[in-house]
């Protein structure tokens, strides 16, 4: 005849078993890190478009003999610290591979470098990004400077109407702080604090003019609730009347 264990003994045995399993779970990575079969032999990069792949791998700072059972959160933090990275995570793939999944900071414009000898990619705030335009083939508007107001307007257009953004060839700051956009042979004038509704209004007016075959040289959207159409460009965007 089999006698059942008291309830408290069964609970104690279950608790002890859980504790043993917990210790095994916590100690397993430490033990596995010592095995040669789990040493990192491959690093896959996902989402790298403009960054140099070697720079991303270097940011991991993997030591010789590093194991896939290392702290992936620490590795992800290191990649996030790399200029040009907006978000990152590291995933292990047994037995010996790591995958770095990242999202790059979106470049908004190209600006002249410190000595004006080359173009530098900048983000929406005008901060330089470690992207090589020649290597990655960046096709962006050229801003006369890294002025945050000018680049901020470009970034806004990039998010609101990518098609319009693709037609912008250049941008610069006007004397009164407004922004002049070069769209082929035409110009668009906006305030540096323009909102999405202003950009949409410019697009609608341009589409209407194109549909009716109406020629124009300049669209001025600096005034509340209206877009002024001009057949002649004003002197550095100084005019206020339509044509």
What is residue 128's DSSP assignment? B
For residue range 99-136, list pLDDT tens digits in order: 999 999 999 999 998 876 789 999 999 999 999 998 88
What are the tokens at 146? 């890294």
- pLDDT at residue 62 is higher than 60: yes
How is domain 109-237 classified at the CATH fold level?
Rossmann fold (3.40.50)
For 44-108, give the DSSP string: EEES-SSS-HHHHHHHH-PPTT-BTTS-HHHHHHHHHTSTTEEEEEEEEETTTEEEEEEEEPPP-
For residue range 29-56, list pLDDT tens digits in order: 666 667 888 999 999 999 999 999 999 9
Q: How far apart are the first and last CA of the chain?
A: 107
How many whole angstroms separate alpha carbon 209 and alpha carbon 238?
23
What pLDDT shows up at residue 117? 72
Under the banding of pLDDT at 50, 70 and 90, the label for residue 26 is very low
- Provide the residue ranges of all domains of the chain, joining segments of one domain with +: 36-104, 109-237
What pLDDT shows up at residue 4? 55
Q: Please confirm whether the linkage preceding 95 is cis (ω < 30° from 0).
A: yes
Asked if 36-104 and 109-237 have one fold, the answer is no
Phi, psi of 146, deg, nearest 5: -90, 25
How many whole angstroms separate alpha carbon 151 and alpha carbon 193?
11
How is domain 36-104 classified at the CATH fold level?
Ubiquitin-like (UB roll) (3.10.20)
Q: State the DSSP H helix or E strand holding residue 154, giving kind and residue range, or none if neither.
A: helix 148-160
- pLDDT at residue 25 is higher than 50: no
Rounded to whole angstroms, what are the CA distances from 186 to 27, 28, 97, 230, 232? 67, 66, 52, 10, 10
- pLDDT at residue 237 is higher than 80: no
Under the banding of pLDDT at 50, 70 and 90, the label for residue 7 is low
């Amino acid at each position: 005849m089999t006698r059942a264990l008291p309830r408290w003994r069964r609970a104690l045995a279950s608790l002890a078993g859980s504790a043993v399993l917990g210790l095994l779970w916590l100690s397993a990575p430490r033990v596995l890190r010592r095995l040669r079969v789990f040493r990192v032999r491959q690093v896959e990069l996902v989402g790298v478009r403009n960054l140099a792949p070697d720079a991303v791998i270097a940011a991991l700072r993997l030591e010789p003999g590093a194991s896939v059972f290392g702290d992936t959160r620490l590795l992800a933090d290191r990649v996030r610290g790399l200029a040009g990275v907006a978000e990152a995570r590291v995933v292990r793939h047994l037995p010996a591979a790591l995958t770095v999944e990242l999202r790059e900071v979106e470049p908004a414009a190209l600006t002249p470098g410190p000595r004006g000898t080359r173009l530098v990619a900048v983000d929406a705030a005008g901060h330089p990004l470690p992207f090589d335009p020649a290597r990655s083939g960046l096709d962006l508007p050229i801003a006369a400077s890294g002025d945050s107001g000018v680049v901020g307007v470009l970034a806004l257009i990039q998010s609101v109407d990518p098609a319009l953004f693709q037609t912008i060839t250049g941008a610069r700051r006007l004397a009164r702080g407004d922004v002049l956009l070069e769209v082929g042979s035409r110009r668009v004038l906006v305030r540096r604090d323009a909102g999405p509704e202003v950009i949409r209004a410019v697009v609608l007016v341009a589409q209407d003019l194109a549909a009716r075959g109406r020629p124009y040289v300049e669209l001025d959207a600096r005034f509340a609730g209206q877009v002024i159409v001009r057949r002649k460009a004003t002197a550095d965007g100084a005019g206020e009347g339509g044509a």
